């Protein structure tokens, strides 16, 4: 099993239902800066024409996660399904993982005095098969699934769409896949030209190599 | 006073004199402040008003929950501010580690270069440098979640950057202690031979420390001041050497001023300060031409400009330069320059850590910068004042320096200038 998520980000309407559902489902600390998931905003203008792009995001549960390798106490670790998790009782609050994470996906939970982050709702996967954020999204932005299962909806979607990942040059092999919008101009508003656009065929060998490397390591 | 001997090392042991003398009393007062700071931090860290979404559902009328929700909506929750995660703890840790190891490096270098007068005073200088390293380690340990630190030993991830420091410290500290032992037992030739590995390890501490930080920071492009600074390691080392010489200057005034060698020591310190502030000045001119313009503007022309020009440039470079430029027999000028370099060096570290936090941007997506804060009014400057507890701990770390040094001195009389043989 290797859990991942695809995001049809063009559909996001910034309603923040996913953020609320996440807080409710996981008992996340209250506070505007205490977020396991968030909707990012990139604003700009092209030749005077303004645009706003919304990027729902969260921990990328990277295959080669720098937050895991910098943790001095193994509090950050890979749980079954390739989910990156934090053992709160082992966290010494060195904040190294917060700095190492290229996606700025971690924060300090003051109720546990430990770093906290998205867990892909691993406690509910068995019963409900998906995360609270996906279940709540009114515009079906998110799709959670197993990359190892060729029959999963996730893999089926990735086989039919093109997608990109965030900060691929960090070489962390993230597992949040942003689906390329049908309107290429929308994509290019805020995605740079040197961002690699993958298909399942081009991505699969990279993913297989990385997964194999990690299972050997 | 009765003296004892162990492994060729003479020492005096009088518990009352060891624990109750002027320096130790000052150290106790400062350490008491640190203890109060730790209490403050504990209260903030473990007993802050904070609540999660479940608490809101389970006990909605709880007055504590009301406070927590009020803070969550209108205030900053908890000890660690997400926009400003690196604070005075890190400033003090970096200052103490770099400056302390700088003192040890400079003394080892002087030993290798056969500066006799420094050789004779080496034990005191090295003990002082080592005391600063201990003060740095004390500060950083209070920054961590002390209740979970046993996991460092129970489940260590030895390949993690933080663990790289452990073998280094485990070698470096005993090596320096052994060097002091050789000096005290008048094994001068052996001491000189050991000076080279100590010299290499002193730089090693700085390099590894930088490598760990750079490895962490370089992934998070939002705070790239720390990784874009050209030859940052060199900058840290050079600026630390200036403060290290300042520490040595003040120490020499306090300990050696009535000795005939004082003039010679102070003249060497004067030359050292002059050389290293010249290099540092060159560095500063180049550095702010190449770092990200957002940071350059924040520091040179923005909210940090007074700290940068008056707290850093003026104190660590301009005033000391004019005070030590000409050879002088008015040694108070060198002492004053030393004090300025100590304070200026600290301002520089503060500026660097808080400056790195200050640019309110986030690059979470790798597709461009977004507004950092989605809920507040967009800010152009991130700054969070140090907590009172942090300030007390930093003041208390000076007590650690005094206590460690004084214990060395009470036992082994390290302040005495020793002849080679």
Concatenating the DSSP letter of every residue in A73-101 gives TS-EEEETTTEEEE-GGG-----HHHHH-
Q: Note whether residue B321 is domain-resident.
A: yes
Q: Which of B265, B262, B263, B256 is nearest to B415 (CA)?
A: B256
Q: pLDDT at residue B176 above 80?
A: yes
- A169: closest CA of chain B, how far (Å): 9
pLDDT band (50, 70, 90) for residue A203? very high
Report CB contact under 8 Å: A42, B85: no
Are A70 and A86 in contact by the 8 Å Cβ rule? The answer is no
Average pLDDT, chain B: 86
Q: Note whether residue B417 is domain-resident.
A: no
Domain positions in chain A: 3-216
Question: What is the C-alpha R_g of chain A?
Answer: 17
Q: Give me the mean pLDDT over the B10-16 stretch.
A: 83
CA separation for the pair B175, B197 (Å, rounded) = 8
Report CB contact under 8 Å: A102, B85: no
Are A52 and A41 in contact by the 8 Å Cβ rule? The answer is yes
Q: pLDDT at residue B377 above 70?
A: no
Report CB contact under 8 Å: B365, A96: no
Model pTM score: 0.88
pLDDT score of B160: 84
For B214-252, b/e burial (b = at least 16 CB within 10 A) is bbbbbbbbbbbbbbbbeebbebbbbbbbbbbbbbbbbbb
Query: What is the CATH number for B221?
Result: 1.20.1630.10
Residue owning tokens 């500060």: B139
- A33: closest CA of chain B, how far (Å): 7
pLDDT band (50, 70, 90) for residue B421? very low
ipTM of this complex: 0.86
**Which domain range does residue B389 map to?**
3-412
Q: Note whether residue B420 is domain-resident.
A: no
Q: Which of B251, B249, B294 is nearest to B273 (CA)?
A: B249
Q: Which of B255, B28, B309 is nearest to B123 (CA)?
A: B255
Q: Dihedral of CA B36/B40/B41/B42: which sign?
A: positive
Q: Note whether residue B224 is domain-resident.
A: yes
Q: Give me the mean pLDDT over the A92-99 stretch.
A: 88
Of the partner residues A32, A99, A113, the one whose CB lies closest to the CB of residue B216: A99
pLDDT score of A85: 97
Question: In chain B, how many domains are there?
Answer: 1
Number of residues that this document lists for chain B: 421
Q: pLDDT at residue A36 above 70?
A: yes
Q: pLDDT at residue B89 above 70?
A: yes
Q: Note whether residue B418 is domain-resident.
A: no
Q: pLDDT at residue B271 above 80?
A: yes
The structure tokens listed for B175 are 């090596």
CA separation for the pair B267, B249 (Å, rounded) = 10
Q: Note whether residue B346 is domain-resident.
A: yes
Q: Which of residues 25-64 of B touch A (CB under 8 A)?
A: 45-46, 48, 50-57
Of the partner residues A33, A41, A191, the one whose CB lies closest to the CB of residue B371: A41
Q: Give me the mean pLDDT over the A108-132 stretch.
A: 93
Q: pLDDT at residue B370 above 70?
A: no
Which CATH architecture describes the domain A3-216?
A: 2-Layer Sandwich (3.30)
Q: Note whether residue B106 is domain-resident.
A: yes
More reliable by pLDDT, B84 or B126? B126
- A107: closest CA of chain B, how far (Å): 6
- The predicted-structure confidence for B220-248, as pLDDT tens digits, reads as follows 665 666 666 777 778 888 999 999 999 99
Report CB contact under 8 Å: A42, B78: no
Q: CA–CA distance from B255 to each of A24, B17, B90, B116 (Å)?
A: 63, 18, 30, 18
Alpha helices in B155-292 (DSSP H): 161-184, 188-219, 225-228, 232-256, 262-290
Q: Note whether residue B262 is domain-resident.
A: yes
More reliable by pLDDT, A47 or A177? A177
CA separation for the pair B208, B398 (Å, rounded) = 24
Q: pLDDT at residue B376 above 80?
A: no
CA separation for the pair B310, B347 (Å, rounded) = 9
Residue of B nearest to A107 (CA): B82
Phi, psi of B374 (to 5 degrees): -80, -15
């Amino acid at each position: 099993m290797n859990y991942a998520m695809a995001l049809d980000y063009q559909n996001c309407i910034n309603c923040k239902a996913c953020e609320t559902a996440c807080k409710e489902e996981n008992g996340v600390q209250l506070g505007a800066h205490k977020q396991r998931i968030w909707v990012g905003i990139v604003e700009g203008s092209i030749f005077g024409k303004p645009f706003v792009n919304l990027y729902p995001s969260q921990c990328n549960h990277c295959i080669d996660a720098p937050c895991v390798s910098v943790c001095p106490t193994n509090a950050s670790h890979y749980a079954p399904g390739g989910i990156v998790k934090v053992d709160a009782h082992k966290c010494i609050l060195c904040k190294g993982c917060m700095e190492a994470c290229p996606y700025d996906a971690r924060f300090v939970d003051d109720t546990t005095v430990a770093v906290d982050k998205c867990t892909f709702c691993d406690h509910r996967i068995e019963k409900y098969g998906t995360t609270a954020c996906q279940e709540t999204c009114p515009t079906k932005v998110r799709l959670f699934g197993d990359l190892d299962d060729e029959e999963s909806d996730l893999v089926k979607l990735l086989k039919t769409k093109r997608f990109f990942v965030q900060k691929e040059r960090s070489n962390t092999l993230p597992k949040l896949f942003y689906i390329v919008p049908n309107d290429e101009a929308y994509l290019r508003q805020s995605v740079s030209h040197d961002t690699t656009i993958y298909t399942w065929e081009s991505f699969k060998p990279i993913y297989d190599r990385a997964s194999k490397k990690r299972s050997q390591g | 006073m009765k003296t004892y001997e162990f492994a060729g090392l003479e020492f005096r042991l009088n518990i009352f004199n060891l624990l109750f003398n002027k320096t130790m009393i000052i150290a106790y007062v400062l350490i008491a402040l640190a203890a109060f700071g730790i209490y403050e931090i504990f209260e903030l860290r473990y007993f802050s008003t904070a609540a999660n979404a479940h608490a809101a559902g389970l006990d909605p009328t709880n007055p504590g929950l009301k406070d927590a929700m009020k803070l969550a909506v209108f205030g900053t929750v908890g000890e660690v501010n997400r926009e400003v995660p690196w604070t005075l703890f890190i400033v003090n840790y970096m200052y103490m580690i770099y400056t302390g190891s700088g003192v040890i490096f400079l003394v080892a270098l002087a030993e290798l270069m056969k500066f006799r007068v420094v050789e004779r005073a080496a034990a005191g200088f090295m003990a002082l440098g080592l005391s600063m390293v201990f003060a740095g380690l004390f500060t950083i340990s209070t920054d961590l979640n002390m209740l979970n630190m046993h996991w460092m030993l129970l489940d260590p991830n030895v390949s993690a950057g933080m663990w790289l420091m452990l073998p280094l410290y485990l070698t470096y500290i005993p090596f320096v202690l052994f060097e002091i032992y050789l000096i005290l037992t008048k094994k001068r030739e052996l001491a000189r031979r050991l000076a080279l590995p100590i010299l290499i390890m002193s730089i090693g501490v700085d390099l590894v420390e930088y490598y760990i930080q750079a490895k962490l920071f370089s992934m998070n492009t939002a705070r790239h001041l720390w990784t874009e600074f050209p030859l940052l390691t060199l900058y840290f080392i050079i600026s630390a050497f200036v403060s290290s010489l300042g520490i040595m200057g003040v120490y020499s005034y306090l300990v050696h001023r009535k000795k005939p060698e004082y003039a010679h020591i102070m003249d060497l310190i004067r030359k050292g300060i002059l050389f290293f502030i010249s290099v540092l000045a060159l560095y500063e001119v180049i550095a702010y031409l190449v770092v990200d313009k957002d940071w350059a503007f924040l520091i040179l022309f923005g909210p940090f400009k007074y700290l940068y020009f008056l707290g850093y440039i003026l104190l660590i470079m301009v005033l000391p330069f004019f005070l030590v430029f000409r050879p002088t027999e008015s040694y108070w000028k060198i002492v004053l320059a030393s004090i300025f370099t100590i304070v200026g060096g600290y301002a520089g570290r503060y500026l660097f850590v808080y400056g790195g936090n200050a640019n309110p941007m986030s690059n979470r997506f790798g597709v461009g910068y977004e507004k950092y804060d989605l809920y507040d009014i967009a800010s152009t400057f991130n700054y969070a004042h140090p907590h009172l507890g942090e300030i007390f701990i930093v003041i208390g770390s000076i007590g650690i320096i005094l206590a460690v040094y004084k214990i060395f001195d009470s036992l082994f009389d390290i302040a005495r200038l020793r002849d080679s043989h």
